Structure 1
Amino acid sequence: MTKLLNLNEEKWKEKQGLYTAKEIYQQPEMWNLTLQKILNAQQELKSFLEEVLANKNIRIILTGAGTSGFIGDTLINYIKEKYSDLDVVSVHTTNIVSHPATYLDKDIPTLLVSFARSGNSPESVATVNLAKQIVNNLYQLVITCNQAGKLAKSIEGRKNKVILLPEATNDKGFAMTSSFTSMLLAALLFFNLNKLAELEPLIKSEVAAAKKVINDFPQFDELLIKKYKKIIYLGSSYFYGLSKEASLKLLELSAGKTVTKYDTPLGFRHGPKSIIDSETLVVFFLSRSEYARLYEYDLLRELKEDQVKTFVISDLIDDQIIELSDYNYKIESNQKLDEVFNSLIYIIFAQIISLYNSINNKINPDNPSPDGSVNRVVKGVKIYPYHN
């Protein structure tokens, strides 16, 4: 019988977590399929991006709601580094809808990059409509997992493109898992269209590294079975945005039963550190930067003195990390890949921790909110007319 993350399918079915377990497990294969889709559309997407960037003073807005918004938060620093002369922002649809005039300007040419699993969230649809209403020179790129969604169906014309991801990425489970990483990868590839030939073998190595994590990590019984009452995710730069998604996964899948927080290693001391106790696990998404690691090591040392359990994830594990951390895992990523690509693998650890935390708390991972107070696609949002 097929095993998924250390349990067979029947066990996951009993625990009402089969969709979520499968969708975490399938991610490496979804990345292969996503890469192929971008390769197939390379010339069309390249022409589109060139037209966009030909506009003087173009603004790029990365947007989405919840997990989809955190894709932009993870990407933002990387895109700003690549296009240092451009105005690039990450703003969630939930901010744009209530304050459109703050983020949308009729006189600034804008590329709106929308991330959406279903493409049916009220705020995602409203953001597109507001952008059409306000911005005179608007380009749109929709990256979505659902060809039947409202966003995918709304895209037409030369100034708008849709990247439709493999059907299986439209996760059936409550929490976004393969949808998050596949949309993140699609966006990373879109902003590297000139380097796809060089990136293709490197992405294949990332796929292999992810498969190893998926096979190895569920064996960390002590880490996964222990019922930590508080789990904190820390990361800086790209991994700060990623830490938000890691924390949200745990909040969603534990139905709020496990206390969770995200921060930067330096920011954690400024008040949030008061959350720690003997039942806390602090997870570090460690940076590759030698300079940034000086600060990360300092906090690890401090937490060791405080007798707080730590788990460090990095593609560079040295003797200091082994000495200072309670648990650590070295991912086998290719050092030639920009560090932001490690986000694809780092988040898998958080997804698996959240899944096991859910079943340890006797929550149903596929539907952690059976009373309907929180929904897979948000309900109950009323969109009001905007008069500019």
Structure 2
Amino acid sequence: MTTAHTYGQLTYPEISAQADALAAALKQLEVQKDWVDRFIGNPAFDEIIFIGSGSSYYQAQTMAATYKKWVGRPASAHPSSEIYLFRDAATVPGRQYLLVGVSRSGESTEVILALESVKDVPGWTTCGITCHEDSKMAQLAECLVSPLGKEKSTVMTKSLSSMTFMMQAASALASGKADLFAEAAKVVQADAAVVQAADPFAKTFVQNHELHKFVYLGMGSYYGLSQEACLKIKEMSYVWTESFGTLEFRHGPKSIVEPGTLVCLLLSETARSYELKVAEEMKEYGATVLIVTARKGDDTAFADAVFETGGADWSDESRGVLYLPVLQYIGFYTALKKNVDPDHPRNLTQVVKI
């Protein structure tokens, strides 16, 4: 039986170790460059479909958004179960599809079923990304492997950060744009300092605010990250939380905002002025506003707290992985504040099997 003083002994070091996991992922990608050429960089495919379940689905959304913008070719993200059970609603006949399974363990039943379901279907090719090179998924399909992404905790932290980063770096290679791949190296160099700063920032933020609702907002490649941030705090601490596209939140859902509501904005540079208008409006309704951004400025001064990652001159997509540590630490410290063990969330297991 765990006790309060032992809570988080798995999760905390895994969040804190993600800079090393990113560095190892980039090094491994150099070894697996041919994977890029044969799979996501191969122009023979009409569409790339990234699939996963839970956190893996949310990172698949970020992977697909990044791929479309950088490579300029069709890509989409679906829950694994949609491809297994409703493939005809997600795809159309006559196209060449590359199905990319996303799974930390490589053992999730739904991703395995999805990959197996298209094994003998004309026009379908499979591959994947995982942290476990000996997993069933890695046996079914050739996978990129994040070697230091393996985790003992139930919730995904460094595994998600490293796999998201690795697939984005692979997309940069597939694009043929050297400046995008150079940004991957810059992210690795910056991540350790961001993780170090995120820890005390998140701890202080959680200690200083009494919150009962959590809302995460993001657009573009940050929408998947906002969903992941929502899930992370829900898994760790069981709080009521939702995620929305930033501007979509104004169309009805903002009615939930009241004092005690956190509105956390994952701020892009692409839509900065529009997104900040939404956050300012929520502040007027009584929300506690937290902004995660590349750069502070006079335009963010209204917020209750601002976490700055740097890298404002990089693409939004590259910088997104730097937003994850503070979001993960907020989930972690919220759990401790509620006297909940983030290592062992109720009703959850590390691998979901049917």
TM, length-normalised to structure 1:
0.84
Residue in 2 that maps onto 1:65: 53
- Tell me which moved more, 119-128 or 222-231: 222-231
Query: Which digits, 9 at most, give the CA deviation of each residue in 1:229-267, with x for residues without a partner?
Result: 11111111111111000100011101x2x1111112211
- Could you say what secondary structure the match of 2:283 adopts? helix
287, 308, 311: which one pairs with 1:330?
308
Written as runs of structure 1 = structure 2, the 5 A alignment for 1:230-249 is 230-249=213-232
Say whether residues 1:351 and 2:333 are aligned partners.
no
Residue in 2 that maps onto 1:78: 66
1:206/1:334 contact within 8 Å kept: no
Residue in 2 that maps onto 1:32: 23
Distance 2:163 2:143 in 1: 12
44, 50, 59: which one pairs with 1:54?
44
Q: C-alpha displacement at 1:137, in angstroms?
A: 2.8
Q: Alpha carbons of 1:90 and 1:51: their partners in 2 closer, same or farther (altered >3 Å)? A: closer
Say whether residues 1:314 and 2:301 are aligned partners.
no
Q: Give 5+ residue unaligned stretches, structure 2.
A: none
Query: Which digits, 9 at most, give the CA deviation of each residue in 1:303-343, with x for residues without a partner?
Result: 23223211111113211211x111112212262x3211122
Say whether residues 1:287 and 2:287 are aligned partners.
no
Distance 2:38 2:339 in 1: 48
Residue in 1 that maps onto 2:13: 22
- Could you say what secondary structure the match of 1:288 adopts? coil
Residue in 1 that maps onto 2:190: 209
Distance 1:367 1:308 in 2: 30
Distance 1:99 1:186 in 2: 29
Distance 1:192 1:51 in 2: 10
Written as runs of structure 1 = structure 2, the 5 A alignment for 1:289-304 is 289=270, 292-304=271-283
Say whether residues 1:377 and 2:313 are aligned partners.
no
Q: Give 5+ residue unaligned stretches, structure 1.
A: 1-10, 156-160, 382-388
Distance 1:63 1:50 in 2: 14
Q: C-alpha displacement at 1:110, in angstroms?
A: 1.1
Distance 2:3 2:333 in 1: 11
Query: Which digits, 9 at most, give the CA deviation of each residue in 1:277-328, with x for residues without a partner?
Result: 2211111110102xx2222222222223223211111113211211x11111
Q: C-alpha displacement at 1:24, in angstroms?
A: 0.5
Residue in 2 that maps onto 1:7: none
Distance 2:339 2:280 in 1: 34
2:39/2:127 contact within 8 Å kept: no
**Where does structure 1 differ by over 6 angstroms across 4 or more consecutive aligned residues?**
none
Q: C-alpha displacement at 1:227, in angstroms?
A: 4.1
Query: Which digits, 9 at most, give the CA deviation of each residue in 1:42-91, with x for residues without a partner?
Result: 2x224314883135xx221111111111112112222222343x332111
Distance 1:200 1:132 in 2: 32
Distance 1:80 1:204 in 2: 21
1:227/1:357 contact within 8 Å kept: no
- Structure of larger gyration radius: 1
Distance 2:40 2:185 in 1: 27
Distance 1:90 1:305 in 2: 35
2:212/2:240 contact within 8 Å kept: yes
Tell me the matched-pair count: 350
Q: C-alpha displacement at 1:163, in angstroms?
A: 1.0
Q: Which amino acid aligns with 2:248?
A: G
Q: Alpha carbons of 1:190 and 1:217: their partners in 2 closer, same or farther (altered >3 Å)? A: closer
Residue in 1 that maps onto 2:240: 259
Percent identity at matched positions?
26
Q: C-alpha displacement at 1:117, in angstroms?
A: 0.5
Q: Alpha carbons of 1:151 and 1:88: their partners in 2 closer, same or farther (altered >3 Å)? A: same
TM, length-normalised to structure 2:
0.92
- Tell me which moved more, 91-100 or 299-308: 299-308
Distance 1:119 1:200 in 2: 26
Cα RMSD of the aligned pairs, angstroms, is 2.3
